Chains A and B, each alone.
Chain A
Amino acid sequence: MLRSWERYLLYGLIAFAVFLPLIFPFDVWENLPTREVLGVYNTIENLQPGDTIVVAVDFDPSSEPELYPMLLAVLRHAFSKDLYVIAINLFGPAGTGLGVMALNDVGGDMGKVDGEDYVMLGFKPNLPAVISQLNSDIKEMYRSDANGKSTADMPILERTPKFQGNIKYLVDLAAGETVRPWIAYGSAPGGYPMGAGCTAVSFADYFSFYQSGQINGLMGGLKAAAEYEELIERKGAASAGMNSQSIVHALLVIFIIVGNIAFFRAVMAKRAEARERA
């Protein structure tokens, strides 16, 4: 049990460790690129202009700090390669708003047109049904996009009436359990490669799918977002947060060590007491 002042001290230290590096930014530690992030980056890098990719915005504001920078970076990369982007959200309704926001911001920046170069399809419940239907016919499932525009004669969907055979890559930015359904109902039957970005919470879980090659890239949490920002040479929100993240982690490791020393001292004291009594 923590005493009250101890708790506030702990909270205070963490708050300082987060705020100070943000107020006084510095650039000392190198963020080394990992194989898993390069998997996604290289796949998009090697696509031809005019190819279509799917970006699944499967997160909502509760993991926005981790995945939104990742989404911006992936979109920027895709648009700079002149790829067509179909975005979709199957996690929770609020993710649709984030997807629309990101596409409008990045697409507007890079001179892309909604409905021609990109589209946000929006949210539908019942993941397996939607994913597998998209493999055979998009318009049957989505009669309107997230903004309520009719998809009937949208140029990007004229070009890509279904996922199967038309999609060159799928990136799922997932806050929950959406990577596995995308593999099972989307990428495996549809036969297109897939990469995933996820929060650091579920990062470790997906390595069994990365190892098996069912996803060819895996981006986990803020670090991966920062790496991607560095790869496309446009540092943003994620890179700005990495110093704070570093210091808090170091602080926590120190906490754990201090806690364990205290624990072992208590154990030793108890043993010594028992020995004395005997």
Chain B
Amino acid sequence: MATFIGTWIAAGLTLMILSFLYKDNPFFRFAEHLYVGIANAFVVWLVWATIVLPDFIGRVFINIAPDPDVTWSPDFWFLVPGILGLIMLTRMIPAIEWMSRWALAFVVGWGAGFMIGPVLNSYLLAQVYASFPWVNMQPYIGAPPGEYVPALVNAIILFICVVTVLIYFFFSYEHKGVIGGGAKIGIWVLMVAFGASFGSTVMARVSLFVGRARFLVQDAEPSGHAFSILLTLGILIVIIAAIVGRRQPPTKESESAE
């Protein structure tokens, strides 16, 4: 029974949000606000139940998981993050808002110091190292020429591409001569990268809609509903939205919104 009602509610909410494609309408706004409310309550629950309660309260104040084998004693060091966390909340009170800077400085300062080493190792050094052709050719030593030659060509192309992109990024003065030619190739390499990224992004967005369409067509079916009923519901929503939309004077925004 819960699944039966759930399927219908989920399908209805899905169609309500999809009705935005026609134009901004009360159905969409209802679903949108409902979503924000539910999602925020979810976050509150999760933060309380899996972080604040076990990590802070459970360490300092009360033993929330009584275990006869383990003796529990409060660890007052954890008052530090608790108090700093509460200080973070002073952002809500304008008069003492500045106190939240202490907590922010704690987190940001920690992050700044912590990130330098790993970023240097994994983003900078490892990435530069993997650009050199002789590094990339290591696995191909002794391979037949049919494999070796294409790999070598690719390794050299990769190296040239990386160098030209860096030339484009780091020489900010007027691009002339060799530097200018390199920067030009660099732009093309970046265009290929952005093109690939765009083509891939199109795929992602379409996949999301395919996923929702699949829910409407296939997941809703086993619980005894035909797709046609959902479609009828959808058309009804669109018609009502159209009528409601007609009654209000058309705004410029909704016409040009896209």
Residues of chain A at the chain B interface (Cβ within 8 Å): 2, 4, 7, 11, 14-15, 18-19, 22-23, 62-66, 93-94, 96-97, 122-126, 128-129, 132, 143-144, 146, 148, 150, 152-153, 180, 183-185, 188-189, 199-201, 203-205, 208-209, 211-214, 220-223, 237, 240-241, 244-245, 248-249, 252
Q: Tell me the bound Cα distance from A143 to B57 in angstroms.
A: 12
Instruction: For B111, give the chain A residue with the smallest CB separation.
Output: A128
By the criterion CB–CB under 8 Å, are B212 and A184 in contact? no
**Is B239 in the interface zone, CB < 8 Å from A?**
no
Instruction: For B120, give the chain A residue with the smallest CB separation.
Output: A184
Q: Tell me the bound Cα distance from A66 to B227 in angstroms.
A: 23
Q: Name the one of B50, B121, B207 contacting A245, with C-beta atoms under 8 angstroms.
A: B207
Complex interface residues of chain B between 201 and 258 (CB less than 8 A to chain A): 201-214, 217-218, 227, 255, 258
By the criterion CB–CB under 8 Å, are A22 and B200 in contact? no
Shortest beta-carbon distance, B126 to chain A, in Å?
A: 6
**Is B115 in the interface zone, CB < 8 Å from A?**
yes
By the criterion CB–CB under 8 Å, are B67 and A153 in contact? yes
**A–B complex contacts, Cβ < 8 Å, 6 sampled:** A93-B42, A93-B46, A143-B54, A204-B193, A208-B127, A222-B211
Q: Name the one of A146, A180, A209, A222 contacting B203, with C-beta atoms under 8 angstroms.
A: A222
By the criterion CB–CB under 8 Å, are B130 and A93 in contact? no
Known: A122-B50, A184-B123, A211-B158. A22 touches B111 (CB 8 A): no
Instruction: For A66, give the chain B residue with the smallest CB separation.
Output: B207
By the criterion CB–CB under 8 Å, are A124 and B51 in contact? yes
By the criterion CB–CB under 8 Å, are A148 and B49 in contact? yes
A63, A96, A201: residue with the most chain B Cβ atoms closer than 10 Å: A201
Instruction: For A214, give the chain B residue with the smallest CB separation.
Output: B126
Chain A residues within an 8 Å CB radius of B55: 143
By the criterion CB–CB under 8 Å, are B54 and A249 in contact? no
Chain B residues within an 8 Å CB radius of A201: 200-201, 204-205
**Is B83 in the interface zone, CB < 8 Å from A?**
no
Chain B residues within an 8 Å CB radius of A125: 51
Shortest beta-carbon distance, B242 to chain A, in Å?
A: 12
**Is B107 in the interface zone, CB < 8 Å from A?**
yes
Q: Interface on chain A toward B: helix, strand, loop, or mixed SS?
A: helix
Q: Tell me the bound Cα distance from A178 to B118 in angstroms.
A: 14
Chain A residues within an 8 Å CB radius of B51: 123-125
Enumerate the 3 nearest inter-chain pairs by beta-carbon distance, A residue then B residue, closest first: A65-B211, A212-B130, A200-B204
Shortest beta-carbon distance, A165 to chain B, in Å?
A: 18
Chain B residues within an 8 Å CB radius of A126: 107, 111
Chain A residues within an 8 Å CB radius of B119: 184
Q: How many A-B residue pairs have CB under 8 A?
A: 157
Q: Name the one of B59, B130, B214 contacting A213, with C-beta atoms under 8 angstroms.
A: B130
B58-96 Cβ-contact flags toward A at 8 Å (1 or 0): 110000010101100000000000000000000000000
Chain A residues within an 8 Å CB radius of B200: 200-201, 203-204, 220-221
By the criterion CB–CB under 8 Å, are A184 and B214 in contact? no
Known: A240-B218, A252-B202. A66 touches B211 (CB 8 A): yes
Chain A residues within an 8 Å CB radius of B105: none
Known: A208-B127, A212-B126. A200 touches B207 (CB 8 A): yes
B20-54 Cβ-contact flags toward A at 8 Å (1 or 0): 01000000000000000001001100110111011
Chain B residues within an 8 Å CB radius of A180: 122-123
B54, B115, B203, B208: residue with the most chain A Cβ atoms closer than 10 Å: B203
Q: Tell me the bound Cα distance from A245 to B199 in angstroms.
A: 13
Q: Tell me the bound Cα distance from A226 to B205 in angstroms.
A: 16
**Is B114 in the interface zone, CB < 8 Å from A?**
yes
By the criterion CB–CB under 8 Å, are B114 and A129 in contact? yes
Chain A residues within an 8 Å CB radius of B67: 150, 152-153
By the criterion CB–CB under 8 Å, are A241 and B214 in contact? yes
A19, A129, A188, A214: residue with the most chain B Cβ atoms closer than 10 Å: A19
By the criterion CB–CB under 8 Å, are A65 and B107 in contact? no
Instruction: For B130, give the chain A residue with the smallest CB separation.
Output: A212
Q: Tell me the bound Cα distance from A86 to B119 in angstroms.
A: 26
Known: A64-B211, A148-B49. A214 touches B218 (CB 8 A): no
**Is B196 in the interface zone, CB < 8 Å from A?**
yes
Known: A93-B42, A201-B201, A201-B204. A144 touches B65 (CB 8 A): yes
Instruction: For A23, give the chain B residue with the smallest CB separation.
Output: B217
Q: Tell me the bound Cα distance from A277 to B3 in angstroms.
A: 71
